[in-house]
Amino acid sequence: MKSSSVFDLLAEEHHCPYCSAKLTLCHAPSIHVGDGLGWGSEYLFICLNDECQLFVNGWKNIENNYGHVGSYRHMKLPDSNENYSMMVAGKGAFTGSVVDPEQVKRSNIRFQKEREAVAELATCVEDKNLAPVLYLLLDDHVALDVKMRAAEMVPVLNDLACIEPLRNHAFRDPNLEQTVNLAIQTILAAHFLKECPYCAELIKARAKLCKHCQKELA
Ligand SMILES: [Zn+2]
Ligand SMILES: [Zn+2]
């Protein structure tokens, strides 16, 4: 089955056969139809018009047939001709799951940036380009395996400029944190440097006195 991106779906226009209102793109709820069958889609087009005949008449229908309060919303599955009258418990049933185009735009921009950074990893060493490595390591949305690949580039790039931003970041995964720490140690050793344990400035590995904070080093 064809699966349109949320971007494509936001551009689509579908109308309710009951009230002709434009259907609203919503995140599919995590409920199941019938015997454990999901919607098969992350998104649904739903008529959220409270004046819709299906919705207005549904209250009576459900009370008469099922003896509880509820109504129907018209729903259409993306990339399919399937339409449903979906039972809802109240007016607000889907208002919290409406897809926010601005948020989609933001996460798409983020996704594009991540894709570019991943592509740049392949040439970052010859380009002496630390930027994509830092971007991937410091952005919390990036997947762990991608972060690990970026971390492997840190000692190869051997750029002291990475130390401050990496030290200022709290890594959530202990493996990744250890890999980054080792990478920093490797870079420091390659430059005959160490971090002052008191003021965190970089100083000569041989120093017995920190030139920045004047503290005596063990
Ligand atoms: Zn409608
Ligand atoms: Zn110091």
Q: Is 217 a member of any domain?
A: no
Q: What is the mean pLDDT of the chain?
A: 91
Beta strands in 38-150 (DSSP E): 43-46, 71-76, 83-88
Rounded to the nearest whole angstrom, what is the distance from the C-alpha of residue 22 to the centroid of ligand 1? Answer: 8
Tell me the per-residue pLDDT of 16-63, one tens digit each, with 9 for 90 and over: 999 999 999 999 876 655 544 566 788 999 999 999 999 999 988 887
Q: Is 109 exposed, middle or buried (0-12, 13-18, 19+ CB in 10 A)?
A: exposed
Q: Which three-class secondary structure state does DSSP give residue 97?
A: helix
Rounded to the nearest whole angstrom, what is the distance from the C-alpha of residue 19 to the centroid of ligand 1? Answer: 4
Residues 40 and 86 in one domain: yes
Residues 87 and 134 in one domain: no
Q: Which domain holds residue 160?
A: 123-204
State the Cα–Cα distance between residues 202 and 211, nearest whole angstrom. 10
Q: According to the model, what pLDDT value does residue 4 have?
A: 81
Which ligand is closest in space to the CA of residue 57? 1
Tell me the per-residue pLDDT of 132-171, one tens digit each, with 9 for 90 and over: 999 999 999 999 999 999 999 999 999 999 999 999 999 9
Q: Which three-class secondary structure state does DSSP give residue 25?
A: strand
CATH of the domain at 183: 1.25.10
Q: According to the model, what pLDDT value does residue 38 have?
A: 66
Q: Is 218 a member of any domain?
A: no
Ligand 1 ion: residues within 5 Å (CB): 16, 18-19, 47, 49, 52, 74
State the Cα–Cα distance between residues 82 and 69, nearest whole angstrom. 26
